[in-house]
Amino acid sequence: MAGTTSNAPRRPRTLGELRRSGWQPRTVKREMRENLIAKLESGEAVFPGIVGFDQTVIPDIQNAILSGHDFLLLGLRGQAKTRILRSLSALLDASLPAVEGCEINDDPTQPRCAACIRRAAEDGDALPVRWIPRAERYREKLATPDVTIADLIGDIDPIKAATRRLDLADPEVIHYGIIPRTNRGIFAINELPDLQGRIQVGLLNILEEGDIQIRGFPVRLPMDICMVFSANPEDYTNRGNIITPLRDRIAAQIVTHYPRTIDEAKAITRQEAWVERDGRVDVTVPEYLATVVEEVAFQARKSDFVDQSSGVSARMTIALMETVVSSAERRAIRLGDGRAVARTSDLAAATSAISGKLELVYDGEREGAQVVSRMLIGKALKAVFDSHFPDAYAEPSGDEGESAYAGVLRWFQSGKTVDVSPELAPAELHERLAAIPGLADLARRHLEPEDEDSLAAAMEFALEGLHQSSLVAKEELVGHRVYRDMMAEMAESLGE
């Protein structure tokens, strides 16, 4: 079995062996604190895979753990709150001794439940011990309106009383809820405001006095537990709230946020998106297109059509990147190619990954999710185009006093058009776009494509950038797009 060798020390299996081993109990919060200190001293990453929080959220969480605090992560959807909470288990010991068969993981040296106290008195040093792996010491519950006190804390179990012929006043008839069963561990409640107020009251004793009370039993069972929570600020007004006494007992409230830079956002998408497929098709996503994918979210987070109190989840850009890759992959499979370069048309065809993840305000609903999605893609494309290419409206600075785009625009002004589709083979796309004077040179100079397929994708991006800059017109048709002269388009519109 992995992790076991003939030279590995045998772990204590009874209370007597545990005492002779020199093992000393400590609270779960002290355990987390000491393990965090060890990680900080060694320089080990405390929350691997969490991007963009190194200077903000993570120091606050570390301060809460060093202080022995229960804490709440407050933030909009898609801000890695649940992932952070689940990663807290790494601060627990690899394993922990508990009384064998105990429902609440009692400490063998200090049993607290009635059954373990009785067994310890009967068995003495022969009391059997089991070792709990750290993965079993973290539990979580999604707060929903139907959660009850019995689910969280516990209740009387009449079946147990009848089966074992116990009096209903006997503490051993208690059926423990999920929180006592996480004793000596970490318990997380996600979306705390969704928990009914009267149920939230049941958490007050755990957070302040460190014990639980069940029904009419005159017993206060001490709990050794670290309580952590997540909440969305929208929930305070729309679906529920956190009652004031409970907020007062949660020692730290830590606010999360979305990635603050494009580089952070790209790092998250690279980490989470499924882009390395089965190897049938090698899909390359140009760096400028990967930037556009992230820029879509940045544009959405400041759009007047999007409800900013709801937020724009990082899951949107992850799904968008995966859909772009799939569009390129599907084209390559259909054409029998083993390699594909993602294009602007693949992004335009991926609105399905955006529309369902946006909460729109009234004006956005009037426009429609698809229209808003295409608008956001267009704004993102223009932002990235402007960062790579010359200002389309700057004074001409070329050798002949012409704009960098003069050759391209003259070609369209002569009455020519170009038809672009995501289904076009790379060679066909290259042939159509290379016929436009100056477009290939623009793409080479500002995007530095590596080969002919990448050049075709770069030319398509440059052409779309000119459209978003209102220099080239575009007609959206089913399955393809036609680019044409802007003035001719305006003249036709005026004629109509």
The domain spans of the chain are 15-150+178-255, 258-388, 394-496
Q: pLDDT grade, residue 93 (50/70/90)?
A: very high
DSSP three-state, residue 95? strand
211 forms beta bridges with: 222
- Least reliable range by pLDDT among 178-187, 252-261, 470-479: 470-479
Indicate the CATH number of 258-388 among 1.10.3210, 1.10.8, 1.10.1740, 1.10.150: 1.10.8
Average pLDDT score over the chain: 89
469: DSSP letter: T
pLDDT digits (tens, 9 = 90+) for 324-357: 999 999 999 999 999 999 999 999 889 999 988 9
Whether the pLDDT of residue 173 is over 70: the answer is no
Whether the pLDDT of residue 262 is over 60: the answer is yes
- Output the pLDDT for position 477: 82
Whether the pLDDT of residue 169 is over 70: the answer is no
Q: pLDDT grade, residue 280 (50/70/90)?
A: confident
The structure's pTM equals: 0.87
Length of the chain: 496
The DSSP line for 106-159 is --TTS--SHHHHHHHHHHGGG-BEEEEEGGGGEEEEE--TT--HHHHTEEE-HH
Whether the pLDDT of residue 408 is over 60: the answer is yes
Nearest CA to 138 out of 100, 91, 205, 102 is that of: 91
Alpha helices in 285-394 (DSSP H): 287-300, 314-335, 344-348, 352-355, 362-367, 369-388
- Please tell me the distance from the alpha carbon of residue 273 to that of residue 292, in angstroms, as a whole number: 15
- Least reliable range by pLDDT among 82-91, 110-119, 138-147, 418-427: 110-119
**Rounded to whole angstroms, what are the CA distances from 333 to 173, 393, 458?**
63, 41, 21
Q: Does domain 15-150+178-255 have CATH number 3.40.50.920?
A: no
Across the range 62-68, mean pLDDT stands at 97
Amino acid, res. 364: G
For 458, the enclosing helix (H) or strand (E) is: helix 452-468
- Please tell me the distance from the alpha carbon of residue 444 to that of residue 450, in angstroms, as a whole number: 9
pLDDT digits (tens, 9 = 90+) for 367-394: 999 999 999 999 999 999 999 999 888 7
Q: pLDDT grade, residue 419 (50/70/90)?
A: very high
Domain 15-150+178-255 shares a fold with domain 258-388: no
- Please tell me the distance from the alpha carbon of residue 407 to that of residue 378, in angstroms, as a whole number: 23
**Under 8 Å between Cβ of 143 and 200:** no
pLDDT digits (tens, 9 = 90+) for 420-469: 988 999 999 999 999 999 999 999 999 999 999 999 999 999 999 999 99
Across the range 238-254, mean pLDDT stands at 86
